[in-house]
Amino acid sequence: MKPPALLGIYRERIFSPGKVDDDAAIMNAAVEELSRRGWEVLTEHAESIDASMPRPANILTMAQSDRVLAVLEDWSSQGTRVINSVPSILNCYRRRLVHILSGAGVCIPPSRIIEVEGAEEKISPQFADGLWLKRGDVHAMEPGDVASVKCREDLGRALAHFSARGIRDILVQGHVSGPVVKFYGVGHGEYFRAYLADSGEEFTSGIGQLRTIARKAAGAVGLEVYGGDAIFSERNGPVLIDLNDWPSFSRCRRSAGSSIAEYFDSEVQCKKRL
């Protein structure tokens, strides 16, 4: 069987809690635009990807499982262009992400990775403005994977959840006051949108500053299609609290799909000229 010029891979259902359709929709929007541009496109669910398949020349992927990422890494080593790259996806695991963003000088809340076992003794009893506990590997997969902690009772419930789930490491992050802004980006800053999490209203007042910080973070991690969350602090401006590989772009899907297609097209054409 002849491999397609472009393979689009949907995210595994287990990594799309409550967003299976939304995640599929942004991939569909991108590949449909690329089809209109003349690309031969095939889409597959991540669960169906196998190393015995013919190796595609180009891949757009939302996959996150170790099994599929290993296949994509092997194909990449043979010359397949993969967006987002496997290293950048793995860099979004929180235990890696915190160190990368801190090293790049990106403003994030006070953060540390600790083991769940013995965590109660390691976390200060002085909660002040509160803490956030998040699983230390992938992003939230079910309720409780991100927990607000303001007292000892909150802490006990959160740690019990992580222990029951077999999660060994957690991210302990200080609380930052201010409105939550969700942002979405493609490429090197060519496309960027941001929205207030509570109202869904487009965020414009600090968009330039947020774009700069978000792009710096994505660049440090290696992401080309990305999204995340920031707190817009009156004192410090935007403080990054999360960064994701290939979000659902649910608030701006149509324009984002076109932008992803345009970015991919230009990247491939540039590679051909080199």
pLDDT at 117: 87
Is 101 inside a domain boundary? Answer: no
pLDDT band at 226 (very low <50, low <70, confident <90, very high): very high
Is 90 inside a domain boundary? Answer: no
Of 174, 191, 211, the residue that ends a domain is 174
Is 105 inside a domain boundary? Answer: no
Same domain, 78 and 135: no
pLDDT at 35: 94
Query: For residue 245, is pLDDT > 60?
Result: yes
Q: Two tokens at 245?
A: 């590989």
φ, ψ dihedrals at 101, nearest 5°: -65, -40
Is 39 inside a domain boundary? Answer: yes
Same domain, 35 and 12: yes
Of 158, 174, 190, the residue that ends a domain is 174
Same domain, 182 and 132: no
User: What are the C-alpha distances in Å from 162 to residues 145, 152, 159, 189?
Assistant: 7, 15, 5, 36
Same domain, 119 and 170: yes
- How many domains does the chain contain in total? 3
pLDDT at 73: 98
pLDDT at 4: 67
Query: Which CATH number belongs to the domain containing residue 150 in this structure?
Result: 3.30.1490.20
Query: For residue 1, is pLDDT > 60?
Result: no
Same domain, 127 and 139: yes
Is 165 inside a domain boundary? Answer: yes
Is 103 inside a domain boundary? Answer: no
The string of pLDDT tens digits covering residues 150-200 is 888 889 999 999 999 889 999 999 888 899 999 999 998 789 999 999 999
Tell me, yes or no, if the pTM score tops 0.85.
Answer: yes
H or E element at residue 193? strand 191-196
Same domain, 51 and 118: no
The string of pLDDT tens digits covering residues 82-128 is 999 999 999 999 889 999 999 999 999 999 999 988 888 888 656 66
The string of pLDDT tens digits covering residues 14-42 is 998 889 999 999 999 999 999 999 999 99
Q: What residues have CB less than 8 Å from 208, skipping those under 6 apart?
A: none
Query: Which CATH number belongs to the domain containing residue 67 in this structure?
Result: 3.40.50.11950
Secondary structure string (H, E, C) spanning 134-160: EECCCCCCCCCCEEEECCHHHHHHHHH
pLDDT band at 144 (very low <50, low <70, confident <90, very high): confident
**Helix, strand, or coil (residue 7):** strand
Query: Which CATH number belongs to the domain containing residue 227 in this structure?
Result: 3.30.470.20
Q: CB–CB of 82/72 below 8 Å? A: yes
pLDDT band at 221 (very low <50, low <70, confident <90, very high): very high
pLDDT at 206: 82
Of 140, 174, 208, the residue that ends a domain is 174
Same domain, 38 and 59: yes
Q: Two tokens at 205?
A: 């007042």
Domain extent, residue 120, equals 110-174
Is 97 inside a domain boundary? Answer: no
Q: CB–CB of 203/195 below 8 Å? A: yes
pLDDT at 82: 96
Percent of the chain with pLDDT over 90: 70
pLDDT band at 271 (very low <50, low <70, confident <90, very high): low
pLDDT at 23: 95
Q: What residues have CB less than 8 Å from 53, skipping those under 6 apart?
A: 3
Is 196 inside a domain boundary? Answer: yes
Same domain, 134 and 148: yes
Which position has the token pair 């991939």? Answer: 27
